[in-house]
Structure 1
Amino acid sequence: MYNNFVLSKIPERTKKPREYGFTMVMDKGLSIRETEDLIEVAGNYIDIIKLGWATSYVTPNLKDKLDIYKSAGIPVYFGGTLFEAFIVRNQFEDYIRILDKYNMTFAEVSDGSIELNHDVKCQYINRLSQQVTVLSEVGSKDVEKIIPPYKWIQLMQAELDAGAWKVIGEAREGGNVGLFRSTGEVRSGLVEEILTKIPFEKIIWEAPQREQQVWFIKLLSSNVNLGNISPNEVIPLETLRLGLRSDTFDYFLNKL
């Protein structure tokens, strides 16, 4: 962490490597130079990188990019849509080989774009958890598919029990499905009900929009796990977490 000045009443942040307070960044196709620039500017605030959906399939110099992240001590994983693309084609064993080929230590299991029996999904989580650290995504990318809160809780708990390290609350890169209404507004009742059963440190909330990030920070503190953060929003998000942007400025001053 860089603290160029001394200020009182700054919320305490967990330190890397951390179990919660995560910032998960979505790389949607950064170049090698952009990857290096991102690490130089924001590497200290990034906990894990997702190569969005199946962008890794068409990314040039993929191994070189992965090596750059690895040398910076930042774990990387392929987006869940790539997993789904292999599963729907009955190529799970090929997916395993891809993880081996690129020395991946994390993997995402999701079913946001395909219909997958939940017991079968949990079997994939269990199998992969014996090889890598698994993040599993709950929720659909279909805006018309509304999952009731009790079902979110059941799915999340089952996936944690199957071996997932953390569960991800679906929102897509636009932040307008799953946890959120089409307008981007948080389904607050859903989130609060989930939190009655699932520990907050076990959930990464996809929250690409600033208003969504502010809502979660105010609900769960500076050390909430947030995901699908764009590379150019990492530093702005950290200032939100620390009460150094107008949206959270008074909030932390009044609490510390």
Structure 2
Amino acid sequence: MNHPKFTCHPELIDPSGERVSKSEERGLTMLIDKGICLALFQEHLQFIGPFVDYVKLGFGTTVLYPPEVLQKKLLLAKKKNIILYPGGTLFEIASYKGVLKEYFDYLQKMGFDHIEISDGTIELPARRRQKMIKRAVSEGFTVITECGKKAIGSHFEVEELERTLYSDLECGAANVIVEGRESGKNVGIFNEQGLIDKQFLLDIQETIPTNMRKYLIWEAPQKNQQIELIHFWGRNVNVGNVQFEDACNLECLRRGLRFDTFPTDQPGSVMRVD
């Protein structure tokens, strides 16, 4: 028996009228996979696939997967037009241990075409960072970099973010992640309570032009952080380190399908800075 197809009115699907499609390469959503099983991974992607652009295999979890399971995750992500890639910590270990060639070879054999380059734990002088980005690009990888240290209490200046952004992009990076860790507390742009430094955002707005800010991905694992970023930068801000179970919630926030970002002209509605 054939069942009729039901579709919602566009005003119900996206009350804001502002949400962009994946093809526009902004409004990116990056999830963090801390080791969920294959079945659960597939289950999640069946529903949230259309709303997700990247899935980062957190920390060094990539090497803990049996190769056949890892390749199945890659295949499932690819089918949903999602990019699966290893977290930057694994690159840092490879750099620290002097096995970068072996690391690049391993990723290529597994089927990865994206790599994250960061220095959240190790010291990576600017020239070496530039060299690593260029090397990865020459090896055929699309490079995502990260700015900021992971140690509790680590913060950075706007000038450092600006310098890193311009340098990394010039070397061939596709995006630059602003460090926030999976906790979103007392690191990067967040204080000990997980609140965003609004003045920092205002300074970025004054320092880095719109056409360059679009390359930034803000790690914001907590709902209140995602809400604040949407209110400040608009519904199509790039957000990372989102938990799998929060992907649908974030998409609702982007579209105005929640009270917090309801699309009205009243106080509390989304303020579009750009």
TM-score band w.r.t. shorter chain: over 0.9
Percent identity for Structure 1 against Structure 2: 34
How far residue 141 of structure 1 moved from its aligned partner, in angstroms, is 0.4
Q: How does 1:100-249 map to 2 (within 5 A)?
A: 100-130=108-138, 131-176=140-185, 177-195=187-205, 196-198=207-209, 199-249=212-262
**Distance (Å, rounded) in 2 between the aligned partners of 1:210 and 1:59:** 29
Partner Cα separation in structure 2 for residue 129 and residue 91 of structure 1: 17
What's the TM-score once normalised by structure 2's chain length? 0.87
Other structure's SS at 1:218 match: helix
For the pair shown, which has the larger CA radius of gyration, 1 or 2? Answer: 2
The runs of at least 4 consecutive aligned structure 1 residues that moved more than 3 Å come to 2-6
Residue-by-residue CA offset, 1:108-160 (whole Å, 9 max, x unaligned): 00000111112111110111122111110000101233322212211221111
Matching residue of 1:77: 85
**Corresponding residue for residue 91 of structure 1:** 99
User: What is the Cα deviation at residue 58 of structure 1?
Assistant: 1.1
Q: Give the letter aligned to residue 234 of structure 1.
A: A
**How far did 1:5 drift?**
4.3
What's the offset of the Cα at 1:192? 2.6
* Structure 1 alignment gaps of length 5 or more: none
Q: Letter of the aligned partner of 2:188 in structure 1?
A: G
What secondary structure does 1:7 align onto? helix
Specify every segment of 5 or more residues in structure 2 that has no aligned partner in the other structure, as ranges. 1-5
8 Å CA contact 1:45–1:234 kept in 2: the answer is yes
1:12 aligns with 2:12: no
Q: Is the 8 A contact 2:11 2:17 kept in 1?
A: no
Q: 1:194 Cα shift?
A: 2.5
Counterpart residue number, 1:66: 74
Q: Is the CA contact 2:74–2:111 (under 8 Å) kept in the aligned structure 1? A: no
Which shows bigger deviation, 20-29 or 148-157? 148-157
Contact 2:226 2:239 in 1 (8 A): yes
Maintained 8 Å contact 2:71/2:111? no
Match of 1:46 in 2: 52
> What amino acid maps onto 2:181 in structure 1?
R
Task: Count residues with an aligned counterpart.
Answer: 253
Q: Letter of the aligned partner of 1:103 in structure 2?
A: G
Partners of 2:204 and 2:128 lie apart in 1 by 23
Q: Which residue of 1 aligns with 2:3?
A: none
